[in-house]
Amino acid sequence: MPAQGDLNPVPTNERHDMKKKIALLATAVMALTGCAQTPDTVRLAAHDSFAISDELIQSFEEQSGFELEIVRLGDTGSLTNQLSLTKNAPIADVVFGIDNTFQSLAIESGIAQGDWAAIDYSDVCFNYDISYFEQADLTPPSSWRDLIDPKYEGLTVVTNPRLSSPGLAFLATTFAGFETNAEVFEYWRGLRDNKVKVAGSWEDAYFVDFTRYGGEKPIVLSYASSPAAEVVDGEAQTAALRNECFRQTEYAAVLTNSPNPGGAKQFVDFLTSETFQASVAEAMYVYPAVTGVEVPRAWAEHAKPATSVLGEDLDFAANRERWLKDWSDVFDN
């Protein structure tokens, strides 16, 4: 006789089927209500120039227990814009590569939660192809101010400040370098009339337009550290104009509404660790932001920081849109 309360027992196989159905129903309810299992992946949104070795990826994954997935979103401007547009349904958990020229826009948009961690820095300045000037028997410019000289007509490529952080850094440099807006506009018109090319991204300017890579422009907007990547048999192939540059700092942060904020925070911590910081010089040709981390010995000769910088006190949040409109009025009309 069955025990009380079990007057109509269900056969064992039917009970098993019922348990399976209940489990499937519970899984579906969890998915619909957002109560799914903890993510096992950390998705990183980064600009196209971000570089990390397979060994470092493996190190992070072993330390954290998360798999790292990298989503590349173009240059810094494109990265910032994409994350702003997807803030409420983020396409990643953490961001790397928004710099001090675009950071105020990111903060205004509310794309990140918590603190922004400084990861690296570099000085935005012009580089030139040494052999081009030797073969042309032409004296290289000594400053970005020289680029409006007719003898450098058609020789320079810069990047679009709406899309490129070096481009925006250079735009800021010109405002910091002159006392009046009229002087800035006069300089920009001089660049335009001297047939400067405006490329969409740093990658296009450097690897497509620069003469070192088969392009037609021997002067390119880049970084003071870039010549370290252009050393052949111990001889420098490029040089940087290291006076009156803009010091650019790149940051990482956990994204607002991140599906995996815990994993994102672990990755930010990994980026500031000595292990990763020791890699940034050779991997991305920038300086580590954490003090005390050594850089390659060759940098002492070929990747010296700027001798002077401009624009650190500029208010990007208050002026960006006006600056960009002014730039467009000169270069897009």
Asked if domains 41-121+248-296 and 123-246+306-331 share a fold, the reply is yes
What phi and psi values does residue 280 have, to the nearest 5 degrees? -70, -30
Q: How far apart are CA 266 and CA 261, in angstroms?
A: 9
Domain residue ranges of the chain, discontinuous segments joined by + = 41-121+248-296, 123-246+306-331
Q: How far apart are CA 197 and CA 206, in angstroms?
A: 12
Which architecture characterizes domain 123-246+306-331 according to CATH?
A: 3-Layer(aba) Sandwich (3.40)
Q: Which DSSP string corresponds to 101-130?
A: TTHHHHHHHT-EEEEEEEEEEEEEEEEEEH
- For 62, the token pair is 């072993």
Maximal CA-CA distance, the chain:
109
Q: Tell me the whole-structure pTM to 2 decimals.
A: 0.76
Which is nearest to 41 in space by CA: 93, 88, 112, 95? Answer: 93
- Tens of pLDDT, residue by residue over 244-288, are 999 999 999 999 999 999 999 999 999 999 999 999 998 998 999
Average of per-residue pLDDT values in the chain: 88
- Count each helix (H run) and each strand (E run) in the chain, helices first: 13, 12
- With beta carbons less than 8 A apart as the criterion, state whether 77 and 115 touch: no
Q: Would you tell me which CATH number, out of the four given (3.40.50.360, 2.40.50.140, 3.40.190.10, 1.20.140.10), belongs to the domain 41-121+248-296? A: 3.40.190.10
pLDDT in single tens digits along all 333 residues of the chain: 333 333 333 343 443 444 333 333 333 333 333 334 458 999 999 999 899 999 999 999 999 999 999 999 988 889 999 999 999 999 999 999 999 989 999 999 999 999 999 999 999 999 999 999 999 999 999 999 999 999 999 999 999 998 888 999 999 999 999 999 999 999 999 999 999 999 999 999 999 999 999 999 999 999 999 999 899 998 999 999 999 999 999 999 999 999 999 999 999 999 999 999 999 998 998 999 999 998 888 888 888 899 999 998 888 888 989 999 999 999 987
